[in-house]
Structure formats: structure tokens, C-alpha cells
Copies of this chain bind each other. A is one copy, B any other.
Amino acid sequence: MKLSCEKASLLSAISVTSRATASKSTIPSLEGILIEAYEELLLSGYNLRTGIRSKVEAEITETGSIVLNSRLFSEIVRSFPDDVITITSNEKYIVTLECGMSKFEIIGSSAEDYPELPSIDGRDFFTTKQSTLKSMISQTIFAISDNESRPIHTGSLFELEDKTLTIVSVDGYRLALRKEEIESSEMENGSFVVPGSALLEIEKIMSDTDKLVKITLGTKHISFVVDDTELISRRLEGEFLNYRQAIPQNSKYIIEVNKRDIISSVERVSLIISDKLKSPVRCLFDNGVLYLSTVTTLGKANDECMVDGDGEKLEIGFNNKYLLDALKAAPSDSLKLMLTTGISPCIIVPSDDTDKFIYMVLPVRLKAGEF
């Protein structure tokens, strides 16, 4: 194998594909990046769950393929000056990397031991703006379950209906939903579930740009194409929660809050809560004021937050982390909290656009005690 390419393009392909290399695997070559130089130069990382393949503009003078340790490959290329890099490998898997006055000779491993990335057999696809999908994922991913006993909920539901995409994440305690129109669709209405680990990567690969991402559905896999990069992941199989039934349609109290103010207050009273010292955040909604408090063995914390609306002294307890996740993800400076009783779910929506983002959090039962 012999090829040459620009440092910048190579480095960006290494950065993105190395996100899918296995950190520790019984198949050692999965810890490396697969370099394939045939008609075009392709770099791949694959941890048997998620695969990322990236195309690099290169001049290939001798075809071939090799696997290189991801960390060392990345560090060497990063250390080179901004110039053309030449990579050669011989039949003994010795790889030479040269740039300017610098030359490295390192040992690679055979590409034959590298498992083949799955290919997508489907023709159903749709496209959406990268910036849109990126924000939709980041605003729902935190509510994905990490409990492997319900594997289907360790991913997000993607539901396509009349050119509208809805993404839903749930664990046992909360639900996050985002809805947006997509750009174009060559697929029927329907739904599929994407693993959280793949969403984490695809969210990072996409940029905050109007350029499109193409999502293609196969029978067992799904592919996201972003510029010169393709991410392939298996789909999760199983029965996802019927989210339409789970979200209550009516609430007794609608309280409007300033996002920054309520986050500050919840964060403050959370200071005496820790992994070891769990305690709910007790919220009392009175006329125009939200009173917050927590009690742990570290002490007591009290806070107040001006709100718009009267909760008629409704008292409700929340897990501080679940509440903060939602407040932080909500895409608006002003939020509506929709409440009915102290033991029914709380709905959080942006004040200005109550349809695009819906968050539901279940309350934590409060012990009677001093406020």
C-alpha cells in the first residue's frame, strides 16, 4: 500500500473513526483503525455495535489495506506539520508515515483479521438538516435508560409520520420528546429504535449546519451519512413504550418559570445532595413563588424562585438530576411546568412552542417532615 494525503483531512477522518474503535476487545484489530486504499481511501472504526467509515481524499499509488493502532496513528498524524503525509506499508505489516523532515516506522496488523462492517440492504431513507437532528438528539438523549433489563429503552424511538420526525427517550422515571419537520423522505411512515451509544456518536459527528444528514433504514441496521462519513448501527428490537398514552393531556396548574432562575435554585439546593446522600428536591408552588428545599445529613437548604402562576400550595418532590436534565435541555428561556397533584407526573414544555419539546418527569414521594 502506498498513498499520500493532506494532514488535515486524514486527521479529521482519524478523529471521527476512532470514536468507534473498541477500547478493549478480544479481537485486537478492533482496537485499531482499518485503512483501505483501493478506488478511494477509507478509514473505519468498528466495535461490533457501531461502525464509522470515513472517506479521505488521497492519491493512491499502490492499493492495499492495513490496521493501525488508533491512538498512536492519531498522535503521529497530529504531530506532523500541515503538509502532505505519505503512508506506505509492506508485506511484513511495517507502516511508514512520512511528512516533511519526520518519519515513523510502526507495526500494523493484517486487515484480513478485521470484521466486515454491516452493509445496509434497505432503500428507505429520509434526510434532515444536521443542525436539526443534532439538537433533537441532544435534547432527548439524556432520558435514555441505562438499564439493560429493558434493552429497547436503551435507545431512542424515531417515528416518522407525514414528513415529521418525533424522537422519544424514556427510562422508568421520565420521558423526553422532540418533534421537527424533516427535509425529504423516501420512506413510508413508521418507526425504529436507535441505540443510545450510536446516537451519542452521530450527535458529535454532525455539525451545527444546514447541510443534510441522510438516514437509511435496513432490516437490522441503520445508517447515518454525514458529509464523507457513514455511521452504521444495529437497530434495537422490541416493543417501545406507547408514549402517546403515557403523557397526560390535561393539567390542573400551569406555572411559568424563567429557565435560568429555576436551574440556579435547583442546583443550589442540590449542593447537599450526593450519590451517597440522596434526597428529593421538595417543591412547593404557591402564588407567584416556588419554594425549594432539601434535607440530608449534611444539612438543610432552602431557596425561592419567582414564578408566574399559582400552584395553591401544591407540594411535589423530584429527583434533582432528572429535573435539572429537563430544565437544561428545554430549548427556551421561559418554561411551563404543568402539574396536577403531588403524585402525578410533571410536564415541562417551552413557553413559546409547547409542541416541539415535551418532557415528563415522575415525582418522588415525599416523607412528611419539616419544610
Contacts and interface: CB of A to CB of B under 8 A. Distances in A.
A298 B103 contact: no
Contact of A72 (B72, B80, B272): B272
Contact of A101 (B76, B101, B102, B303): B303
Interface size class of A (residues with CB under 8 A): 20 to 34
Nearest to A75: B271
A363 to B, nearest CB: 23
A104 B81 CA distance: 54
Given A79-B264, A264-B79, A301 B271 contact: no
Interface in A51-88: 72, 75-76, 79-81
Contact of A102 (B102, B105, B299, B303): B303
Copies in the complex: 2
A81 B264 CA distance: 9
A106 interface: yes
**Which of the listed residues A76, A101, A103, A301 has the most CB atoms from chain B within 10 Å of its own CB?**
A101
Contact of A104 (B76, B272, B305): B272
Interface string A103-137: 11111000000000000000000000000000000
Interface in A285-324: 298-305
Nearest to A302: B103
A259 interface: no
A227 interface: no
A101 B303 CA distance: 6
A107 B299 contact: yes
A249 to B, nearest CB: 34
**Which of the listed residues A102, A107, A264 has the most CB atoms from chain B within 10 Å of its own CB?**
A102
Contacts of A75: 271
Contacts of A271: 72, 75-76, 79, 104
Nearest to A101: B304
B79 A268 contact: yes
Given A104-B300, A105-B301, A107-B299, 6 more contacts: A72-B298, A76-B271, A79-B268, A80-B268, A102-B301, A102-B303
14 contacts: A72-B271, A72-B272, A76-B271, A79-B268, A101-B304, A101-B305, A102-B302, A102-B303, A103-B303, A104-B271, A104-B300, A104-B301, A106-B299, A107-B298
